Amino acid sequence: MNRATTTRNKVASAALADAEKYLLPTYKRQPLIFTHGRGPYVFDSNGKKYLDFLGGIAVNGLGHAHANIVKVIRRESARAIHLSNLFHNEFQGPLAKKLVEISGMDRVFFSNSGTEAIEGCLKLARLYARPADAPVTAPNPKDRILALENSFHGRTFGAVSITATEKYRLPFAPLVPGVEFVKFNDVADLESKFDKNVCAVVLETIQGEGGIYPVSEAFWNRARSLTSQHDALLITDEIQCGLGRTGRYFAYQKFSSRPDLVAIAKPLAAGLPLGAILASEAVASRVSPGVHGTTFGGGPMICAVALEFLKILEKTKILTNAAARGAEIRGGIQKLAGKYSFIKEVRGEGLMIGVELTVDGTPFVAEALKRGLLINCTHEFTLRLLPAFIISTKQVREFLGIFEEVLGHVSKSMPATETARQAAHTAAR
Ligand code: PLP
């Protein structure tokens, strides 16, 4: 081991020890330090290379260290990182314009994260439902919010209140009142729970943490028609599935109608923290100065970076690439499903892919890490793949190669019952 490596290892060990001692233990993390990335690869402190199919949990749409993004950060950080939302900056208006153009929505509010965008949407729904001329102290019976079972919308109070998974919500009760959950894609259940006091239906166009489940067209259409009929809002959370991941700018663009509010975040500023609410003019017309705000949201440097991100989506074939590479990945895994019976289903669109297993996904994630592949597991049984939009066919092949090795290796140490089932499945082919 040379001196540089020894020093790097010492620094990494010290950083791990500090993390262990001083951080709140909110995550079960691998004892690894990642130091940098290049395109769809990341490197740890030992110099080991990993193919990144997690993308910072759907954030790094352009991969790591994209030259144009680095250039904009360098340029703008030397000019103004933060000003104040009491003034205009050069980039916030143009970024809002671009988002309006690609989404079909009308107005934008910038936040710092996905969960904050969701909070803002919920506040806007309650505001919209209140008669414009009513005193602020007047009770507002139109306060019910319908969310979906299996949903995930973030970690702040409003967001956990509309997040179905109990472990995320129950420790923090009492939550925001007025929320009820509808069975996923169940139109009859939606109809039975909807009434004139509903102010919003909120859903993820494709559920992410829940295991990559797309909302059906029938459910979307009924949610749209009921909310329109009763002057309630349809809010879609595109924090994970939006901004190019499906091969379209927004996942909802496969439907023939638009929502009233859209929450976005993750890839928007290529890894810097930026979220946004996209609103219809009807909702925007109820907003006045002081009703909502943020210190950091929409600063000049971060908006310049987001503009560059959107320019890259527009000027290159990156959306087409996301759709095509996604199809290659799903096709490849479908083939592997013929060989490995514990692959139950492959779901998703573009580069938002869930591989549901009949067995616990944890050992697959651990084995992939050993073999230089980053993936994660959500809802215990679903392996989630969220690679950068820029991946090439060669990198898809590389992924499929490692993934097959991982499946083969883990299947050897499966319990006897599963191995027998696997053998029967292979023999039957
Ligand atoms: N909504 C969805 C669908 C998400 O996937 C996430 C994060 O994973 C959030 C909301 C919360 O976003 P953030 O972590 O930026 O607050």
pLDDT surpassing 70 at residue 417: no
> pLDDT confidence of 3, banded at 50, 70, 90?
confident
Report pLDDT digits (tens) over 7-28.
778 888 899 999 999 999 999 9
Q: What is the pLDDT of residue 228?
A: 98
Decide whether any atom of ligand 1 lies within 6 Å of the 240 Cβ.
yes
26: buried, middle or exposed (CB in 10 Å: 19+, 13-18, 0-12)?
A: exposed
The pLDDT value recorded for residue 220 is 98
Q: Is any atom of ligand 1 closer than 6 Å to the C-beta of 60?
A: no
Q: What is the pLDDT of residue 4?
A: 74
Sheet holding 34-38, edge to edge: 34-38, 41-44, 49-52, 373-374
pLDDT in tens, 318-350: 999 999 999 999 999 999 999 999 999 999 999
Give yes or no for residue 421 having a pLDDT over 70: no
Domain residue ranges in the chain: 3-65+318-427, 68-315
Question: Could you read off the pLDDT of 82-96 as tens digits, one per residue?
Answer: 999 999 999 999 999
- CA 209 to ligand 1: nearest atom: 5
Q: Judge whether 3-65+318-427 and 68-315 match in fold.
A: no
Q: What pLDDT, in 10s, does the model give residues 191-237?
A: 999 999 999 999 999 999 999 999 999 999 999 999 999 999 999 99
Q: Is the CB of 348 under 6 A from ligand 1?
A: no
> What number of residues does the chain have?
429
Q: What is the pLDDT of residue 415?
A: 74
Asked whether 207 lines ligand 1 (CB < 6 A), one says no
pLDDT band at 424 (very low <50, low <70, confident <90, very high): low
For the segment 366-395, the average pLDDT, to the nearest whole number, is 97
- Tell me, using a 6 A CB cutoff, whether residue 265 lines ligand 1: yes
Distance between CA atoms of 6 and 3, rounded to whole angstroms?
A: 5
What's the whole-number average pLDDT of the chain? 95
The dihedral over CA atoms of 121, 376, 348, 307, expressed in degrees to the nearest 10, equals 50
Q: Lowest mean pLDDT of 3-17, 271-285, 346-360, 396-410, name the range.
A: 3-17
pLDDT at 299: 98
Cα 295 to ligand 1 centre (Å): 20
Closest ligand 1 atom, residue 118 Cα? 10
Quick check: CB of 210 below 6 Å from ligand 1? no
For the cut 70, the answer to whether the pLDDT of residue 367 exceeds it is yes
Contacts of 274 (CB under 8 A, 6+ apart): 110, 111, 112, 265, 268, 297, 298, 302, 303, 305, 306
What pLDDT, on a 0 to 100 scale, did the predictor assign at position 418?
63
Residue 159 CA: nearest ligand 1 atom is 10
> Does the pLDDT value for residue 419 go beyond 70?
no
Q: Is 120 in the pocket of ligand 1 (CB under 6 A)?
A: no
Closest Cα to atom 10 of ligand 1: 153
Q: Provide the token pair at 31.
A: 């004892």
**Confidence class for position 187, pLDDT limits 50, 70, 90:** very high
Mutational pocket test of ligand 1: of 203, 240, 384, the residue with most ligand atoms within 8 Å of the beta carbon: 240
Write the CB contacts of 96 (distance below 8 Å, at least 6 apart in sequence).
Answer: 107, 108, 110
pLDDT of residue 139 exceeding 70, the answer is yes
Q: Is the beta carbon of 238 within 6 A of some atom in ligand 1?
A: no
Q: What is the topology classification, in CATH, of domain 3-65+318-427?
A: Aspartate Aminotransferase, domain 1 (3.90.1150)
pLDDT tens, position by position, 19-75: 999 999 999 998 999 999 999 999 999 999 999 999 999 999 999 999 999 999 999
Atom of ligand 1 nearest to the CA of 275: 15
User: Ligand 1 mean position to 4 CA, how many Å?
Assistant: 38
> Residue 398 — pLDDT band, cuts 50, 70, 90?
very high
Distance 262 CA to ligand 1 centre (A): 13
Task: Report the separation in Å between the CA atom of 315 and the middle of ligand 1, taken as the mean of its atom positions.
Answer: 27
Pocket of ligand 1 contains residue 209 by CB under 6 Å? yes
Find all residues with CB under 8 Å of 241, minimum gap 6, and list them.
Answer: 204, 205, 206, 208, 251, 349, 352
Q: What is the mean pLDDT of residues 234-241?
A: 98
Whether the CB of 113 sits within 6 Å of ligand 1: yes
d(CA 285, CA 201) in angstroms, rounded, equals 20
pLDDT digits (tens, 9 = 90+) for 154-181: 999 999 999 999 999 999 999 999 999 9
Q: Answer yes or no: are the C-beta atoms of 150 and 210 closer than 8 Å.
A: yes
Name the β-bridge partners of 355.
346, 383
At 350, phi and psi to the nearest 5?
50, -130
Asked if residue 1 has pLDDT above 80, the reply is no
- b (16+ CB within 10 A) / e for 306-330: bbbbbebbeeeebbebbbbbbeebb
Give pLDDT, residue 379: 87
Taking the centre of ligand 1 as the mean of its atom positions, its distance from the CA of residue 114, in whole angstroms, is: 5
Residue among 151, 209, 239, 262 to mutate when testing ligand 1 (max atoms within 8 A of CB): 239
Please give the distance, rounded to the nearest whole angstrom, from the Cα atom of residue 129 to the centre of ligand 1: 25
The architecture of the domain spanning 68-315 is: 3-Layer(aba) Sandwich (3.40)
The residue whose C-alpha atom lies closest to atom 15 belonging to ligand 1 is 114
Q: Which atom of ligand 1 sits closest to the CA of residue 113?
A: 15
